[in-house]
């Protein structure tokens, strides 16, 4: 088997805060193969966005990477290569689609300029060639009358159109990997489906890999082939999408799946209430000892408080961080 | 859809111009009335002349008539471009303005240009380094320069560079021997006279622009699109340009509004450095109860104020597509 496109190992990012050291990302490892779509799921504050930003070495100021962290992409160590080489990767080989198309676009530059800029920065194409390419890309992401739209400013476009511009900006140079950080969260439901459909279509045509960051399991089910579930800065479960949905093992994953409303549920005559996971994510300055989920876990016993579970393999592609793997009889039904 | 905003735009322009005209008229009227209500008249200071003769001069100029009568006459003359006679300079007011206004505009435009360029450079540099030692030092410096009254700063500069060190002339636009100097020496002489008043005005303006640019740059620097720019693979310079381009909007507005306030600053600075410009002349005119000249000075000031705010509007539309309709 060839080496994966992206290989992340023991990624740790911490922040010094007034309340102590916040270990926002704490030992995350995973790989993404060429052309593959991997989803990272978790509640806000679990470290998924920071993980994504770290891949492009875009850690917010104050964030500290642990020396053991490795992010290897196309054979280069993203965390240690010189700025110059890093810039050559950003936007060209690895691109990012941000969550808020409203604020992630520069309000005083035309959308065409903002797409063309990527071309201009990374290639030797002339201004007019870059513009032509930008217009073509805007048309490709489904913006009607792209030539005229390219000369407009972000505030003149709708939210869905803006997100299409973001996608055009990320994909104009056909990168090998696209990180999509909550690409549909800020959009109306009807627009969400369109954007997902567009991403799927472009993924097939360009053959790129996608790292999809989301809190929405529905989006993951539609897009990803493999899923990482993150909780409190750690990966707690990793599995192919089918087995994750069919047989989740970690109680947190179970909770997430149970918290998704479904039409089947709604149509039942016995109105079963939508389940929620009690409690909230603990602050990153004070992760609980042992298992970080134990305070919210219905199965937790003494061992969970003293002994931090390791990520163990249960099936060839299925890994879980839970003591229930060794002691399944502790599971309460 | 395209024609409607355009029509709205042009009617807004007309409205703005009418509004500006009204402001100038109101300021001029207020100045006219206030000047005449102030004790004395243009000839009060001529104590060498018998009182009855002074009264006769006043009557000749119509200054003994009721204020409304004088006002209507003055307005009628103004409508045909006649600003009247300056009693102090004994020349038409327009001639006096033609002499002094360019001197102020020279000082102001140099000071404004230097202030804008320096202030934007310093502020933009600070805005991306908020909280660092360099930023704190510059912030303290600009706060100091900003809070010091300009006349005090002027006096300090004169004390230090003109009186104690003797490096630069303390006052005037040229030396007394200017007429006898060769061309190259004339240029040097003019520049040497410019240094101190220009420094006083520029220090003030720079601190103001720097403070403005710093805060707008700091805000822009934290916007998500800065991260987008970085993720696109731009150099740090390119990323800063992205932020600066949006941080420009409030500074450009400030530029227009600073226009008249530099004139206000020039009133003090010109008096201290005896710079024979508009500000200096305005002070002279008020003290000498030179009615026509004083009111004309107010008109010049208010025209500059309204054109400054018009300019701010135009510039803002040029740099911010969100306001351009």
Residue of B nearest to A96 (CA): B231
Kindly list the domain boundaries of chain A, sorted by start residue. 6-93+181-330, 102-174
| B1 contacts on A by Cβ (under 8 Å) | none
Helix, strand or coil for residue A41?
strand
The rounded distance, in Å, linking the Cα atoms of A108 and A111 is 9
Spatial distance between the Cα atoms of B220 and B239, rounded to a whole number of angstroms: 11
B173, part of any domain? yes
Within a domain: B154: yes
CA distance linking residue B54 with residue B42, whole number of Å: 9
The total domain count for chain B is 1
User: Chain B within 8 Å of A121 (Cβ-Cβ)?
Assistant: yes
Residues A182-241 have pLDDT tens digits of: 888 878 888 888 888 888 988 998 889 999 999 888 889 989 999 999 999 999 999 999
pLDDT at B325: 54
- Judged against a pLDDT cut of 80, whether residue B288 lies above it is answered with yes
Q: Does A40 touch chain B (CB under 8 A)?
A: no
Q: What is the pLDDT of residues B253-267, one digit of tens each?
A: 888 877 777 667 677
Contact residues on chain A for B235, CB-CB shorter than 8 A: 87
Q: Does B1 touch chain A (CB under 8 A)?
A: no
Half-sphere exposure of B143 (CA within 13 A, CB side): 6
Judge whether B219 is closer than 8 Å to chain A, CB to CB.
Answer: no
B227 touches chain A (CB under 8 A): yes
B188 near B242, Cβ under 8 Å?
Answer: no
- Confirm or reject contact between B228 and chain A (CB < 8 A): yes
Do residues A73 and A93 make contact, with C-beta atoms less than 8 angstroms apart? yes
Average pLDDT in chain A: 90
| CATH for B146 | 1.10.3720.10
User: Nearest residue of B to residue A54 by CA position?
Assistant: B231
**Could you report the per-residue pLDDT of B73-128, keeping only the tens digit for each?**
989 988 888 888 888 888 999 999 999 988 888 888 898 899 999 999 999 999 99
Long-range contact pairs involving A308-316 (C-beta distance under 8 Å, separation at least 24): A311/A29, A311/A234, A311/A235, A311/A236, A311/A238, A314/A249, A315/A239, A315/A243
User: For residue B234, what pLDDT band results from cuts at 50, 70 and 90?
Assistant: very high
Contact A103 B224 (CB under 8 A): yes
- CATH number attached to the domain at A6-93+181-330: 3.40.50.300
CB A174 within 8 A of CB A89: no
Q: Which of B 300-319 lie inside 8 A of A, CB atoms?
A: 319
Q: Would residue B66 count as lying in a domain?
A: no
pLDDT of residue B4: 44
Shortest CA gap B249–chain A (Å): 9
ipTM surpassing 0.90: no
- Nearest by CB to residue B322, choosing from A107, A110, A118, is A107
CB A159 within 8 A of CB A101: yes
- Cα–Cα distance between A72 and A58 in angstroms, integer? 15
Give the chain A residue whose CA is nearest to the CA of B130.
Answer: A61
Quick one: average pLDDT of A23-39?
Answer: 93
- Asked if A108 lies within 8 A of B245 by C-beta distance, the reply is yes
Q: Specify the range with the lowest mean pLDDT, choosing from A266-270, A295-299, B155-159.
A: A266-270
| pLDDT given for residue B279 in this prediction | 85
Domain boundaries, position B173:
101-319
CA distance, residue B233 to nearest chain A CA (Å): 4
Contacts B224 to A, Cβ<8 Å: 98, 100, 103-104
pLDDT band of residue B181 (cuts 50, 70, 90) is confident
Does a structural domain hold residue B43? no
**Mean pLDDT across chain B, nearest whole number?**
86
């Amino acid at each position: 088997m060839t080496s994966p496109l992206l290989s992340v190992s023991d990624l740790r990012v911490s922040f010094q805060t007034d309340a102590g050291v916040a270990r926002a990302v704490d030992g995350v490892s995973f790989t993404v193969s060429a052309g593959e779509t991997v989803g990272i799921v978790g509640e806000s504050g679990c470290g998924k966005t920071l993980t994504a930003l770290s891949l492009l070495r875009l850690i917010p100021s104050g964030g500290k990477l642990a020396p053991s962290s490795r992010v290897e992409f196309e054979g280069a160590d993203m965390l240690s290569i010189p700025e110059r080489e890093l810039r050559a990767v950003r936007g060209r080989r690895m691109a990012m689609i941000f969550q808020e198309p409203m604020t992630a676009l520069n309000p005083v530059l035309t959308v065409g300029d903002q797409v063309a800029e990527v071309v201009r920065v990374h290639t030797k194409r002339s201004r007019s060639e870059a513009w032509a390419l930008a217009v073509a890309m805007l048309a490709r992401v489904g913006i009607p009358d792209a030539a005229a739209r390219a000369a407009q400013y972000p505030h003149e476009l709708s939210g869905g159109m803006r997100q299409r511009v973001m996608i055009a900006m990320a994909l104009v140079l056909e990168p090998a990997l696209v990180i999509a950080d909550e690409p549909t969260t800020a959009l109306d439901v009807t627009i969400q489906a369109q954007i997902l459909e567009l991403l799927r279509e472009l993924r097939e045509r360009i053959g790129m890999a996608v790292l999809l960051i989301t809190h929405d399991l529905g989006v993951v089910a539609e897009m990803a082939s493999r899923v990482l579930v993150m909780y409190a800065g750690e990966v707690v479960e990793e599995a192919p999408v089918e087995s994750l949905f069919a047989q989740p093992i970690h109680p947190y994953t179970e909770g997430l799946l149970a918290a998704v409303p479904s039409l089947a549920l709604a149509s039942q005559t016995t109105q079963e209430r939508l389940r929620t996971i009690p409690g909230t994510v603990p602050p990153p300055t004070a992760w609980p000892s042992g298992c970080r989920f134990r305070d919210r876990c219905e199965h937790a016993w003494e061992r969970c408080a003293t002994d931090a579970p390791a990520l163990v393999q249960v099936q060839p592609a299925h890994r879980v961080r839970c003591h229930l793997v060794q002691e399944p009889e502790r599971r309460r039904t | 859809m395209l024609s409607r905003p355009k029509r709205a735009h042009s009617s807004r322009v007309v409205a703005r111009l009418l509004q500006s005209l009204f402001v100038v008229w109101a300021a001029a009227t207020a100045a006219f009335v206030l000047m005449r209500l102030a004790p004395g008249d243009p000839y009060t200071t001529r104590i060498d002349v018998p009182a009855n003769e002074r009264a006769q001069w006043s009557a000749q100029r119509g200054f003994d008539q009721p204020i409304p009568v004088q006002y209507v006459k003055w307005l009628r003359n103004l409508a045909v471009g006649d600003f009247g006679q300056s009693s102090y300079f004994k020349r038409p007011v327009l001639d006096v303005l033609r002499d002094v206004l360019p001197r102020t505009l020279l000082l102001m435009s140099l000071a404004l240009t230097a202030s804008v360029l320096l202030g934007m450079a310093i502020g933009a540099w600070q805005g991306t380094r908020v909280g660092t030692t360099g930023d704190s030092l510059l912030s303290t410096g600009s706060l100091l320069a900003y809070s010091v009254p300009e006349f005090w700063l002027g006096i300090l500069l004169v004390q230090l560079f003109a009186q104690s060190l003797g490096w630069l002339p303390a006052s005037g636009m040229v030396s007394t021997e200017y007429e006898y100097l060769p061309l190259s020496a004339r240029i040097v002489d003019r520049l040497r006279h410019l240094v101190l008043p220009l420094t006083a005005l520029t220090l003030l303006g720079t601190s103001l622009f720097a403070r403005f640019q710093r805060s707008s740059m700091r805000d822009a620097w934290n916007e998500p699109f800065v991260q987008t720019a970085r993720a696109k693979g731009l150099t740090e310079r390119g990323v800063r340009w992205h932020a600066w381009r949006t941080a420009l909007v409030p500074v450009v507005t400030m530029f227009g509004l600073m226009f008249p306030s530099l004139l206000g600053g020039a009133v003090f600075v010109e008096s201290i450095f005896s710079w024979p410009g508009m500000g200096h002349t305005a002070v002279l005119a008020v003290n000498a109860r030179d009615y026509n000249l004083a009111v004309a000075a107010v008109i010049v000031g208010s025209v500059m104020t309204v054109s400054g705010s018009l300019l701010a509007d135009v510039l803002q539309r040029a740099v911010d597509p969100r306001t351009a309709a």
